[in-house]
Amino acid sequence: MPPIRILIVDDHPIMRVGLAALLASSKEMEMVAEAGSGEEAVTLYAQHLPDITLMDLRLPGISGVETIRRIRKQFAKARFIVLTTYEGDEDIFQAIDAGAAGYLVKGMPQEMLVNAVKRVHAGGRYLPPSMSQALASRLPDCSLSNREREVLVLMAKGKSNREIANQLGITEATVKCHVSVILMRLNASDRTQAVVIALQRGLIHL
């Protein structure tokens, strides 16, 4: 069987070098290209048409999730394994919803990555038990709108309702409404708890 052709997408050169060395140690896999941004990944995918893409979520420019969506819009059969530091249930949900077939956290054993690549290449999915449990615990009504996420990010930066209103160009009353919805959906008792929960779950990143 020919080796599994892999595209590595990560903004840290050292991480790309490490993954490339890991793949080089196996005759079953080979790196065909590496990208440091989402935009670069879209271009390189079209050039090389890899069997598997290892995708980080935190990238300069467009995110890993958006990169997956853009590539799959052109190449519906593209297969992705997310390799990231994010462990929140919302991160996992967004990645799987975008089309990722595997989700791993950096620092996993080499054997786990190899098994994930083989399973996804064979048409399956790969989610470690901890990732599956996090995904299963996600409440169906906890999603936030884009505006609510914007408000939440500014809350995390310590902005008052008035400051948020001025920055977003909306009324202070509207901000209060958004904050109330955020607290309810995150089951938080106050703004600080809402921010902590949002960061833990991957609803926002700072």
Q: Is the pLDDT of residue 106 over 80?
A: yes
Looking at the fold, whether 13 and 33 belong to one and the same domain comes out as yes
Assign 130 a pLDDT band (cuts: 50, 70, 90). Answer: confident
Looking at the fold, whether 116 and 157 belong to one and the same domain comes out as no
Looking at the fold, whether 128 and 161 belong to one and the same domain comes out as no
Give the pLDDT of residue 11.
Answer: 95
Q: Which residues pair with 31 in a beta bridge?
A: 6
Domain assignment of residue 118, yes or no: yes
Looking at the fold, whether 34 and 126 belong to one and the same domain comes out as yes
Domain assignment of residue 121, yes or no: yes
Domain CATH number, residue 21: 3.40.50.2300
C-beta of residue 192 within 8 angstroms of C-beta of residue 156: no
Looking at the fold, whether 63 and 124 belong to one and the same domain comes out as yes
Secondary structure class of 90 (helix, strand, coil): helix
Domain CATH number, residue 184: 1.10.10.10
What residues make up the domain containing 183?
A: 146-201
- The residue from 136, 159, 175 where one domain ends is 136
Q: Give the pTM.
A: 0.76
